[in-house]
Amino acid sequence: MADASVWEIAPTGPLRGDVRVGGAKNAVTKLLVASLLADAPSTILNAPSLGDVDITASMLRSLGAGVCVEPVPGDAGSTITVDPVTVSDGRIPVSYSGRNRVPILLVGPLLHRLGEAFVPLVGGDRIGTRPLDFHIDALRRFGAEVELTPVGLEAKASRLEGTHIRLSFPSVGATESVLLTAARAEGRTTLENAAIEPEVVELALFLQRMGARIEMQPDRVFVIEGVQSLGGAHQRLGGDRIEAMSYLVAGLATGGRVRVRGCSQDRLVTAISTLQRMGANFEIFDDGIAAEAERLRPAAVQTSTHPGFMTDWQPPLVVLFTQVPGMSVVHETVFEDRLGYVEALRAMGAEVELFEQCLVGQACRFQQSGWQHSALVRGVTALQGADMVMPDVRGAFAYVIAAAAGQGRSTLRGVHHLERGYDRPLEKFSELGLSITPS
């Protein structure tokens, strides 16, 4: 992973070639956390090389866990082994405050191991409020004593008991927190209105391999029968569907053809159908998916929880809309402040208007919130190179696509955001023909 914080990008025409995507970012850190629940080491295969993995591994080591990351030659990712037996400290150092959103997920496993936990304030991308209320309420329902302090969250529990929880919104983080806590709680836990994203299911499968008794029922319901102990497990991560979609869009936005490998078709069904409606042509193989288009059509897209159009696919899609003739619309329903990256695209010449109204699809919970959560995009726009600061993980990738599709050189700062969420992006973009000079 490159250490450079600035990229100079010179457009080189259509991006073409093959990209092997890494293991899912949104799953790997959760499996690392789940490893702390076991009484023996666990191994995660096909782990991507990215900043969030490094941060999470460092956090686990600070607790006393053994964490070994072994790169695998070629494109097979890394193998990570976590030994939880030596965990002796339930306090995550305050220095990890704001680094990512993993600390809150550690509370349940640490309570099971040590009976107490402290985690610093969580971080992550500034794309809207992601309150801890769901997590805190769930932990208290399990019987934990929880106090939120100015620097973090203190929790303790002599025992955790199964409970009934219904989420007001199918939050991915809250669902993961409940699964991690319920796996070893005494008795049955029923979780209603749960998130069912592939990465959530991946965590549930990993816990099941460890010996957890987890049942997934219709209508977003998980039923977990707590067990006294869990063993270690081996699991290979599925491909990152966000990375796969983003590279497919990079090819389309530049008039090229990109084939992604390492991510199964079932993880991209909604992305594929959306791009097909826009006029993209796909070749789908057992080992890859390729996309290209002679002419694209505008579209109206509403983001949603799985199996809807993923919110993390939205920033690359908006850049693609700037290269599509006519007016396209996107309605963001998951995070109220996800469109903050649009300002830099406007500086490049993109014609994007933001609205507080729900412009397409059903009215969402942000309808009268005052947040600008819908975008109207007019294309085709001749984007001009610009000096931009990457705002977050997904906005960072969108800026790279915009720079590749634009005219003239662009300077992208804050590359650490990109490297926190994507596996070897400098190497992969370079292999597709994009000229990048890191500094």
Q: Do 400 and 256 belong to one domain?
A: yes
Last residue of a domain, one of 236, 263, 293: 236
Residue 100 domain flag? yes
Residue 250 domain flag? yes
Q: Do 228 and 274 belong to one domain?
A: no
Rg of the Cα atoms in the chain? 22
In angstroms, the CA 436 to CA 80 distance is 30
Residue 311 domain flag? yes
Last residue of a domain, one of 216, 236, 256: 236
In angstroms, the CA 398 to CA 314 distance is 9
pLDDT in tens, the chain (439 residues): 444 689 999 999 999 999 999 999 999 999 999 999 999 999 999 999 999 999 999 999 999 999 999 998 876 689 999 999 999 999 999 999 988 889 999 999 999 999 999 999 875 445 444 468 999 999 999 999 999 999 999 999 999 999 999 999 999 999 999 999 999 999 999 999 999 999 999 999 999 999 999 999 999 999 999 999 999 999 999 999 999 999 999 999 999 999 999 999 999 999 999 999 999 999 999 989 999 999 999 999 999 999 999 999 999 999 999 999 999 999 999 988 899 999 999 999 999 999 999 999 999 999 989 999 999 999 999 999 999 999 888 899 999 999 999 999 999 999 999 998 899 999 999 999 999 999 8
CATH number for the domain harbouring residue 414: 3.65.10.10
- What is the number of domains present in the chain? 2
Q: Do 228 and 245 belong to one domain?
A: no
Q: Do 384 and 396 belong to one domain?
A: yes
Residue 105 domain flag? yes
Q: Do 396 and 434 belong to one domain?
A: yes
What is the domain range of residue 117? 25-236
Q: Do 273 and 157 belong to one domain?
A: no
Residue 88 domain flag? yes
Catalytic site residue 125?
Answer: yes
CA 127 to chain CA mean position, Å: 12
Q: Among residues 125, 240, 312, 423, which one is catalytic?
A: 125
Residue 1 domain flag? no
Q: Do 428 and 306 belong to one domain?
A: yes
Q: Do 341 and 225 belong to one domain?
A: no
Q: Do 111 and 249 belong to one domain?
A: no
| Cβ atoms of residues 374 and 354 within 8 Å | yes
Q: Do 301 and 257 belong to one domain?
A: yes
Give the per-residue SS3 of the chain: CCCCCEEEEECCCCCEEEEECCECHHHHHHHHHHHHHECCCEEEEEECCCHHHHHHHHHHHHCCCEEEEEECCCCCCEEEEEECCCCCCCECCHHHCCCCCCHHHHHHHHHHHHCEEEEECCCCCCCCCCCCHHHHHHHHHCCCEEEECCCEEEEECCCCECCEEECCCCCHHHHHHHHHHHCCCECEEEEECCCCCHHHHHHHHHHHHHCCEEEEECCCEEEEECCCCECCCEEECCECHHHHHHHHHHHHHCCCEEEEECCCHHHHHHHHHHHHHCCCEEEEECCEEEEECCCCCCCEEEECCCCCECHHHHHHHHHHHCCCCEEEEEECCCCCCHHHHHHHHHHCCCEEEEECCCCCCCCCCCCCCCCCCEEEEEECCCCECCEEECCCHHHHHHHHHHHHHCECCEEEECHHHHHHHCCCHHHHHHHCCCEEEEC
Residue 167 domain flag? yes
Global pTM reads 0.93
Position 131 scores a pLDDT of 64
Last residue of a domain, one of 236, 264, 299: 236
Position 127 scores a pLDDT of 43
Q: Do 205 and 311 belong to one domain?
A: no
Q: Do 156 and 252 belong to one domain?
A: no
